[in-house]
Every structure is written in structure tokens, then in C-alpha cells.
Amino acid sequence: MEDSNMKNVSPEPKKKSLKWLWIAVAILVVVGIAVWCGISASNANGASSTFKFSSTFVMFALAFLILGLGYLLGGVNIKGVSLGTAGVFLVAILLGWLCTLDFKDVPLLGAFHMESTSATVVKNLKGPVQNLGLILFVGSVGFIAGPNFFKNLAKNFKTYILLGAIIILAGTLVAVLCTLLTDYGPEYWAGVLSGALTSTPGFSAAQDAATENLALITLGHAIAYPFGVVGVVLFVQLLPKFLKADMAKERELLRLGAQEEERDYSKYFSCEDFGFLPFALAVIAGLLLGSINIPLTGAGYNGPCFSLGTTGGVLIMCLVFGHLGHIGKLSLEVKASTLKVLREFGLALFLLGAGFEGGVALVQEIANAGGAAIVVWGFVGGAVMTVVPMLVGFVVGKYVLKLPLLNSLGSITGGMTSTPALGTLIATAKTDDVASAYASTYPIALILIVLASQLLITLM
């Protein structure tokens, strides 16, 4: 009888007591470590001795802080208009500027101080992080647009080339006008032009063509770049609202104008479910393609050269892989869910790196310029170089080329070489099909902005 009662006794009180015992031990350990670190810090250099912030820690801490706050800002919706992923860009600029403030002697916070763009953290965010984001984004866009891209390109080839050329020409004419009306020189306005069109290849081409005033090119690019990003992002959201466009009807027109292809990948071999292998193969091929350097003059490699770069090379090869669908028995399918995640994450990383470096560089370059007038002129001129080509492109696309709205907007984002705006347009249109118009216009715009940046300096 006694044994029977013992079996019915619940072990719960014993478990609870052990639980609280372990909690007490954990608290004692934490308190003990904190006290020991505090005593050690008081005998050394204070809190900076307790926390060791490596450049890797600072980089990732800033990156995830920017991503979190950026999406918080981007989620703010005012009458149907939001910054979306571009919120990451603005927060990155703000934090980049804050990190240049003089708090390097403040305990703990001093680790986040950036003297200039030569700081290791800035280089890493601008270099590996931004380029990885760019590869993920344009690669995803290429695979999404690839299955129908070449058929649609053949159908609208002349239209996309014409629209891309008109957009770049409009921006270049504004840059020429600004050069004639001011005393800041063609180098400065070539930098503004590349910033207004958010074109890193154009910026590099301007630097290659210039023999002096390289700092002015950097300053112009840094001043115009923020509005170049945000302006196109807002344009692709606001224009449909101003036109009171029926987006469901516009999506249908976009689909009707495309030649869609349904594919069955089940008969091909796939080594994993996500499609990382074909994505990796396409990226490697794209990096190789983008590294090819083509001389533009009789001077050969001693003169101006052109290359597709990371963006153009990866975009084209991912379009090709997406178009092929398979190589022999090897499936080249990348799951739609995988592409959407890589596209969004890649865009966020790209904007993070560009924005943070821009925030640090802007302060540095303005300080070197030593005056507010050049900044005001650059911002206003850059804004005009961003807005005028988009308006001209829309008018020509709608009234001359008779393109549907989403085709026009997709082509405009490609003609403006605006990676962030494409992400926003996809979210606004609620269809990935707009990526095809972007991808069709982007290559010609990329080539022309490189040539325009060089000619502006060499001929003016």
C-alpha cells in the first residue's frame, strides 16, 4: 500500500526546484563575469577593454542595423507610395554620415567612427557586400526574365534600343547644358551625370577619361547619386497614380505582349531543390564575360576601354541560362521562391553598400570642395538629369512607340540603369514580367552612358 502511494507522487516539484537552481547558477555566473570584467576594466582603459569590437563585428552590426531600420522606413506607406527597399539606402546614407562625426574617443562608440571612405568597414561594405548584392539581384532578374526574354527582344528590339538611346541622350544633353552654363567643368558634370543615372560604369569611365580634377568627378557622383536612386523609385510609383492606371489591365497588356513559355523540368537532372548550382554556374560565366575589356579607340588598351562589368556580364549570362533551361540532361531551373528571396536580399545588400559609402564620401568630398554653391548646383542639376530623361522616355514610349505603361516603366528603369527602381516596379506592378523590358533596355543604356561620360570630358 505504501509502495503504491509512492508511485503516485508527482515528480513535478522536484523538476521545478532543479529548474530554479539552474537559473540561480546561471545568474551567479553572469554576475560573476560582469563583476570580474568591471574590476579588470577599472584597472585598464574602461569599457573599451571589456568590449573588443573588430572591424568584422562593426561591419555586420552596422549592416543588420541598416537593414532593420531601412525596412522599417521603407514600410511607411503614404497614400499608397512607399520607399520599399530604397529605405535601406536612405538609412545607410544617414548612418554613414553619423559615423563620420567626431566621437572616436567615446568608449564603445569610437569603434564605429569612420575617418573616410578608406576605412576598412566602408571598403568591405562598398566592395564585397555591395557586389555580392548586385550579383544576387541582377542574376535573379536574369533567370526570371530569361525564358521569354529573347523572343520578346526579337519582337521589340528596335523599340528598346531607341528608348534606351533617347533616355541617355536626354540626360547627356542636360549635362552639356550645365557644363556650358557653369564654371565647374565637364569633369564635375560627368560625375553628376553618372550619379543621376546611378551608373557605376559611367563613373569609372569618366575617371578613366579625365586627366585632372578627379575629385570633382567623385564629388558630382556622390551629390547626384541619392536623388538618382530615390527619384526613379518614386517615379515608377507615382506615375501610375497620376495617370490613374488600372494596374490589372496593364498587367494583362504586359502578358499579352509577351510570348510566354511553359516548361517541364521534371525530365532533367537536378542535384538539389533550390537551383543554386545553375545559379552559381551562370554567375561564374557572367563574371568572366564582364571582365572582357574592349578598346574603343585606335590607341588600343592604352586608350578608353569598355567592359560589361559585374552587372552587365552576370545579367546577360543569367538571361542565357534562364533562356536555355537545361544543358544536356542537367536542369538549369532555379526555383521561383529562391529567385524572389535572392532578388530582394541582393537589392538590400547593394543599397546598403552604396548608401553607407555614399554617406561617408559625401561629407568628405563636400568638405574638400569648401563651398555650398557647388553642392546646390550639383544637386539641382543631378535632379534635372534624373527627371528629364524619365519624362522624355515616358512621352516617347507612350505617344511615339505606343508601348503599354508597364513596358514603358520597365524600359525606363533599364534606360536609367536603376537597379533599385526595378525592384520597386516589380512590387508596384505585382508581376516579374516587367524585368524583361528592363533587361532589354539596360545593355544599350550601359554602353551609351559609358560613352557619354567619356565624350563629355574629352570633347567639352
Give the model's pLDDT for residue 167: 92
Region 417-432: mean pLDDT is 82
Q: Would you say residue 15 has pLDDT above 70?
A: no
CA distance 96 to 92: 6
Give the model's pLDDT for residue 390: 93
Q: Would you say residue 37 has pLDDT above 90?
A: no
* Among candidate residues 88, 172, 209, the one with its CA nearest the CA of residue 452: 172
Grid cell of 394 as nine digits: 515616358
Model confidence at 119, pLDDT cuts 50, 70, 90, reads confident
Give the model's pLDDT for residue 309: 75
CB within 8 A of 95, min separation 6: which ones? 62, 65, 66, 356, 359
CA distance 343 to 144: 10
Give the model's pLDDT for residue 161: 84
Model confidence at 262, pLDDT cuts 50, 70, 90, reads low
Least-confidence region, from 13-22, 23-32, 379-388: 13-22
Q: Would you say residue 3 has pLDDT above 60?
A: no
DSSP state of 418: -
Give the model's pLDDT for residue 195: 86
* Among candidate residues 142, 143, 226, 236, the one with its CA nearest the CA of residue 425: 236
Region 318-328: mean pLDDT is 86
Residue in the block written with cell 544543358: 327
CA distance 34 to 271: 49
Q: What is the mean pLDDT of the chain?
A: 80
Give the model's pLDDT for residue 1: 46
Region 397-402: mean pLDDT is 88
Q: What percent of the residues of the chain are helix, what percent strand, and what percent coil, each to the nearest 5?
A: 75, 0, 25
Cβ atoms of residues 168 and 441 within 8 Å = no
Q: Delimit the domains of the chain by residue range.
A: 134-346+367-459
Neighbour-count burial for 88-126, b at 16+ CB within 10 Å, e otherwise: bbbbbbbbbbebbeeeeeeeeeebbbbeebebebbbbbb
Dihedral angle, C-alpha 166, 171, 177, 179, nearest 10 °: -140
Least-confidence region, from 51-65, 159-173, 256-270, 390-404: 256-270
Cβ atoms of residues 429 and 247 within 8 Å = yes
Grid cell of 62 as nine digits: 552596422
Give the model's pLDDT for residue 11: 55
Least-confidence region, from 142-146, 312-316, 371-375: 371-375
Angle of CA points 262, 425, 149, to nearest 5°: 35
Give the model's pLDDT for residue 460: 67
Cβ atoms of residues 451 and 168 within 8 Å = no
Give the model's pLDDT for residue 105: 67
CA distance 155 to 25: 73
| Residue 2 CA neighbour count, 13 Å, CB half | 0
Give the model's pLDDT for residue 357: 81
Per residue in 122-165, pLDDT (tens digit) is 888 888 888 888 889 888 888 887 777 777 777 777 888 888 89
Grid cell of 437 as nine digits: 523590358
Residue 216 has φ and ψ, to the nearest 5°, of: -70, -35
Region 289-295: mean pLDDT is 83
Region 369-389: mean pLDDT is 84
For residue 45, what is the enclosing H or E element?
none
CB within 8 A of 353, min separation 6: which ones? 92, 125, 126, 127, 129, 130, 131, 133
CA distance 279 to 333: 9
Give, in order, the Cα–Cα distances in Å from 282 to each of 141, 328, 341, 362. 12, 15, 17, 35
Model confidence at 260, pLDDT cuts 50, 70, 90, reads low
Between these two residues, 152 and 384, which has the higher pLDDT value? 384
Report the share of the chain in percent with pLDDT over 90. 9
Cβ atoms of residues 440 and 160 within 8 Å = yes
Model confidence at 362, pLDDT cuts 50, 70, 90, reads confident
CA distance 8 to 111: 60
CB within 8 A of 128, min separation 6: which ones? none
